[in-house]
């Protein structure tokens, strides 16, 4: 069983000042807003948090700041994955010391690994920490898909409790649910929250919740309460917005959306840069339509 709260976890953005330093004042504001809006948990320093361009010191400072600000009101999951196992272990151990409630570990990317390498990568970290681990499967970005046979082995580890499943393949989600009953499933795609919940999933780790946190918290809560029609209505209503949120690489559109709504989370560190005009206009139009 997942020893963490079910529901909507926001993969929170990392706000930047005009000089592209981390804006910790804004980060505090965002955390407090999410808690007030009913967000069930916060993932700090995931891909949406631009972790690839944070220094080690910034990475741990962001995690520590979120942990301190949340102050145990909701779970904080630290993104500490890497394609370097020992580096991931280092970040994970430091995040645990900072008080993170769990870890999100992405599959090794670029150098990849065979099945045994994947198993050893995750268990090397799991053996050395004492907080829950959520595996992160997103083959569209990493080029690696964790086979069900490997997930079955990983699910036997006491510290590996869940998976953020972002392959987009519902048949694969069904196989995980059928063959890895001890592994809780979070949707890694905002467009598939309800389908994943219907297959026994426990929630979503969401990009879109940065913009509409209450919507995704309500969506998960409605489903848990048996209000499937209400949950489905939200999934359908926000479908066009979600589609436009991923027309360029995440987190470019979500930061543009937040800035448009006045959250002032700043810009991007290269190689990420401002959104192209046409997709940005479509994104803003999709948000404006939600107000009608």
Report yes or no: 19 and 12 within 8 Å, Cβ to Cβ: no
Which residue(s) pair with 227 in the sheet? none
- Which position among 164, 223, 238, 280 bears the catalytic label? 164
Place of tokens 């150098």: 111
Q: Where are the alpha helices (DSSP H) in the chain?
A: 24-37, 56-70, 85-98, 115-126, 139-142, 148-154, 170-179, 193-198, 213-224, 228-237, 239-244, 252-260, 277-291
Count Cβ atoms below 10 Å from residue 20 Cβ, excluding itself. 13
Tokens of 203: 């929630």
- Which position among 9, 26, 119, 136 bears the catalytic label? 136
Place of tokens 């999933």: 201
Tokens of 259: 């800035």
Distance of CA 56 to the CA centre of its chain: 19
For 259, half-sphere exposure in the C-beta direction (CA atoms, 13 angstrom radius) is 19
* Catalytic residue flag (residue 227): no
Bridge-based pairing of strands 102-106 and 184-187 is unpaired
* Catalytic residue flag (residue 164): yes
Residues serving a catalytic function are 136, 164
């Amino acid at each position: 069983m997942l020893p963490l709260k079910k529901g909507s976890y926001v993969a929170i953005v990392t706000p930047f000042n005009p000089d592209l330093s981390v804006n910790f004042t804004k980060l505090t504001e965002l955390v407090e807003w999410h808690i007030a809006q009913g967000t069930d948990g916060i993932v700090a320093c995931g891909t949406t948090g631009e972790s690839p361009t944070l220094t080690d010191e910034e990475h741990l400072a962001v995690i520590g700041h979120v942990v301190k600000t949340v102050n145990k009101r909701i779970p904080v999951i630290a993104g500490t994955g890497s394609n370097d196992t020992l580096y991931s272990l280092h970040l994970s151990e430091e995040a645990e010391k900072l008080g993170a409630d769990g870890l999100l570990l992405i599959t090794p990317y670029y150098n990849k690994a065979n099945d045994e390498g994947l198993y050893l990568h995750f268990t090397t970290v799991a053996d050395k920490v004492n907080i829950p681990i959520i595996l992160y499967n997103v083959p569209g970005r990493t080029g690696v898909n964790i086979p069900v046979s490997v997930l079955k082995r990983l699910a036997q580890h006491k510290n590996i409790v869940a998976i953020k499943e972002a392959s987009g393949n519902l048949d694969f989600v069904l196989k995980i649910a059928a063959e890895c009953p001890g592994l809780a499933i979070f949707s890694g795609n905002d467009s598939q929250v309800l389908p994943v919940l219907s297959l026994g999933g426990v929630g979503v780790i969401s990009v879109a919740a940065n913009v509409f946190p209450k919507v995704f918290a309500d969506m998960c809560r409605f489903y848990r309460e048996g209000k499937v029609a209400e949950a489905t209505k939200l999934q359908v209503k926000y479908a066009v917005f979600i589609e436009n949120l991923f027309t360029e690489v995440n987190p470019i559109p979500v930061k543009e959306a937040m800035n448009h709504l006045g959250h002032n989370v700043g810009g991007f560190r290269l190689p990420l840069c401002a959104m192209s005009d046409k997709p940005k206009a479509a994104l803003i139009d999709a948000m404006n339509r939600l107000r009608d």
